[in-house]
């Protein structure tokens, strides 16, 4: 038996402002989340972009081509009711941040990591007031509790939309500092992806690239880009 797939049933998707925010309407009927919650968004820009995703659907609805809609659903259904849990999970990345753990050899890789990661370690120390210790090898290094507390404060300062975006900005590259740097406009999504892959790209240069790894890396790049776009749109006036 073939899998049932939802088909397009509307002619027009449009964003409208309501009392609580902006919503997307399909032929005059408001879109709801899978759990039947009202899909009310904080900005016109985000609602317009979500409406464009719905309008771009053809005969069969493909959720994979609707990353902003999926993120908005997650913000309302998953992040809002467990904000503290999501924030705590992301905060834990600060204690073992990718940028704190460096190779001790070969020298070319050591230099690449330093050139790419040191500026963001310095940025976190100055702008976020959260200096992190850097170590070589895999032996864990304990971070200053005050630094971790300040990083948590930057996470807690997000609303549900920002925290939803920050989830992918942190977990996909594996670095809280990279995620916060994108959220604060210090770097863009492609740069975050590039910096997260310094080790992998170096190894690929030595041993060759694997097609599956290349595909997985591109999917991660797209995911980071979608999260950065969601974060920016949720803050547009």
Summarize the confidence of residues 36-41 as an average pLDDT: 95
pLDDT at 13 exceeding the cut of 50: yes
> What span, in angstroms and rounded, lies between the C-alpha atoms of 11 and 25?
11
pLDDT at 102 over 60: yes
Q: Is the pLDDT of residue 151 over 50?
A: yes
Domain that holds residue 9: 1-62
> What share of the chain in percent tops pLDDT 90?
86
173 and 138 within one domain: yes
pLDDT band at 69 (very low <50, low <70, confident <90, very high): very high
Please check whether residues 31 and 117 belong to one and the same domain: no
Q: Are residues 94 and 53 in the same domain?
A: no
Instruction: Give me the mean pLDDT over the 177-193 stretch.
Output: 98
Any residues with CB less than 8 A from the CB of 35 and at least 6 apart, and which?
77
Q: 176 lies in a domain? A: yes
8 pLDDT band (50/70/90 cuts)? confident
Sort 201 into a burial class: Cβ within 10 Å, 0-12 / 13-18 / 19+.
Answer: middle
* Total tally of structural domains belonging to the chain: 2
223 lies in some domain? yes
Residue 116, domain CATH? 1.10.3580.10
Rounded distance between C-alpha atoms, residue 217 and residue 17, angstroms: 38
**Would you place residue 4 in the very low, low, confident or very high pLDDT band (cuts 50, 70, 90)?**
very low
Pair 116, 10 in one domain: no
Considering the domain boundaries, does residue 132 fall inside one? yes
pLDDT digits (tens, 9 = 90+) for 105-139: 999 999 999 999 999 999 999 999 999 999 997 78
Residue 76 inside a domain? The answer is no
Counting every residue written for the chain, the total comes to 237
């Amino acid at each position: 038996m073939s899998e049932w797939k939802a088909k397009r049933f509307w002619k027009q998707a449009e964003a409208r402002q309501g009392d609580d925010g902006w919503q997307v309407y399909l032929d005059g009927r408001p879109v709801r989340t899978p759990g039947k919650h009202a899909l009310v968004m904080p900005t016109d820009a985000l609602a317009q972009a979500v409406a464009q995703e719905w309008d771009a659907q053809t005969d069969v609805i493909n959720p994979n081509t609707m990353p902003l809609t999926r993120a908005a659903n997650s913000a309302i259904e998953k992040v809002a009711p467990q904000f503290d849990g999501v924030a705590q999970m992301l905060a834990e990345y600060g204690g073992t941040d990718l940028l704190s753990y460096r190779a001790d050899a070969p020298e070319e890789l050591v230099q690449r990591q330093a050139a790419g990661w040191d500026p963001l370690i310095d940025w976190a120390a100055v702008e976020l007031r959260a200096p992190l210790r850097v170590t070589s090898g895999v032996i864990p290094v304990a971070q200053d509790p005050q630094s971790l507390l300040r990083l948590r404060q930057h996470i807690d300062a997000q609303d549900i939309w920002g925290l939803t975006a920050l989830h992918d900005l942190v977990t996909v590259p594996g670095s809280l500092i990279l995620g916060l740097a994108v959220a604060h406009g210090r770097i863009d999504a492609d740069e975050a992806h590039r910096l997260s892959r310094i080790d992998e790209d170096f190894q690929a240069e030595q041993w060759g690239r694997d097609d599956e790894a290349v595909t997985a890396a591109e999917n991660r790049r797209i995911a980071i880009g979608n999260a950065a776009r969601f974060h920016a749109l949720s803050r547009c006036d």
